[in-house]
Amino acid sequence: MRTIRVIGIGAGNPEHVTVQAIRALNTVDVVFVLDKGGEKASLVALRHAICERYITERPYRFVEARDPERDRNPSDYGATVEAWHAARAILYEAMIEGELGPDECGAFLVWGDPALYDSTLRIIERIVARARVPFTYDVIPGISSVQALAASHRIALNRIGAPIHITTGRQIADGLPPDADTTVVMLDGHPRFDHLDPDLTIYWGAYLGTPDEIVLSGRLGDVAEAIGRTRTEARARHGWIMDTYLLRAP
C-alpha cells in the first residue's frame, strides 16, 4: 500500500523542522513539490535544502509539477478556490499514481503547519474520496507563521484569559469582530489599515524565519504607513511576499 506523509516544515527556518518531521522524512522515497514559478523558486529551494540536510538514512527523489494557475482577485472567491482545489487534486492524484510505487512512501512538505490555512489536507481528502488510487496518509505538525511571528516579537499570543481570533485579510475588510482582543491575520494580499482603530497595537512580520525576515510593531496609527512602504519595497525586491500580523486592542 502506498503511504503519503503530509509534513509541516515550519515558517522558513530549517531549524523549525521538528524531530518528528525528521524521522518522517527518513521514511520517504519520493518528495512531491509544486513549482509556483520563478518568483517563488526559493520556496522550492528551501524544500531541497531541508531534505539534503535531514534525509540521511535512505535514497529519495524529487518529483516536481507546475501548480495550477488561479485568479488571485476573483469576483467569486469560493468558486475560484473550489476549482483550484479540484485541479490540484487531479494533479496530485496523477503524481501519486505515476511516480509512487505500490509500497513506497511519498511526502508533501507543507510550509508552516498543515492544519492552518493550507489546502493540502483538503486536496488529499478529495483524492481519497475519489477512490481511484489507494493509499494511507498521516500528518506531521509544523511551526506556523503565527508562532514564528510571536517568537520574533517576543510576545505571548494571548493576554491572560483572553481569546485569539485567527482569520484572513479578506475577512476583516469591513473591520475587526466586535470586542476582538487579539486578532491574527494571515493571507492578506493587499493589507490596508485605514478602516481600523489607530490605537490598536500591530505586530507585523514578513519572510518569518528566513534570513530576509522583517518585523515591525507599534501603535497602528503610527506605523501603518511604514509597514505599507516596507512591504511594497520587499515585494518588489523579492518578487513575492508572505507576511502575517497580529492586532491587539488597547
Task: For the beta carbon of residue 248, count every other beta carbon within 10 angstroms.
Answer: 21
Residues 62, 19 within the same domain: yes
Low-confidence ranges of the chain (pLDDT < 50): none
Domain count, the chain: 2
Judge if 175 and 191 occupy the same domain. yes
DSSP string, 85-154: HHHHHHHHHHHHHHHS-TT-EEEEEESB-TTSS-SHHHHHHHHHHHTSS-EEEEEE----HHHHHHHHHT
Q: Which residues contact 27 (CB under 8 A, 6 or more apart)?
A: 3, 5, 58, 105
Which pLDDT score, from 0 to 100, does residue 213 have? 96
Enclosing domain of residue 125: 2-140
173 and 103: one domain?
no
Q: What φ, ψ does residue 76 adopt, rounded to 5°? A: -120, 90
pLDDT of residue 39: 59
Residues 39 and 26 in one domain: yes
CATH number assigned to the domain comprising residue 231: 3.30.950.10
State pTM to two decimals: 0.91
Regarding whether 115 and 49 lie in a shared domain, the answer is yes
How many CA atoms lie within 13 Å of 193's alpha carbon, on the beta-carbon side? 23
Coil, strand or helix at 30: strand
* 10 DSSP assignment: B
Q: Output the CA–CA distances (angstroms, integers) from residue 49 to 43, 45, 65, 107, 136, in the order listed.
A: 10, 6, 18, 15, 27
Q: What CATH number is attached to the domain comprising 28?
A: 3.40.1010.10
- Same-domain check for residues 134 and 180: no
Residues 95 and 133 in one domain: yes
Q: Which helix (H) or strand (E) holds 202?
A: strand 201-206
Give yes or no: residues 188 and 84 share one domain: no
Residues 136 and 175 in one domain: no
CA dist., res. 68 & res. 123, Å (int): 13
Which of 140, 173, 191 is a domain's end point? Answer: 140
Q: Are residues 220 and 242 in the same domain?
A: yes
**Is residue 121 located within the same domain as residue 11?**
yes
Judgement on whether residues 132 and 152 belong to the same structural domain of the protein: no
pLDDT at 37: 66
Pairing mode, strands 30-35 and 105-110 = parallel
**Which of 92, 123, 140 finishes a domain?**
140
Q: Where does a domain end: 124, 140, 156?
A: 140
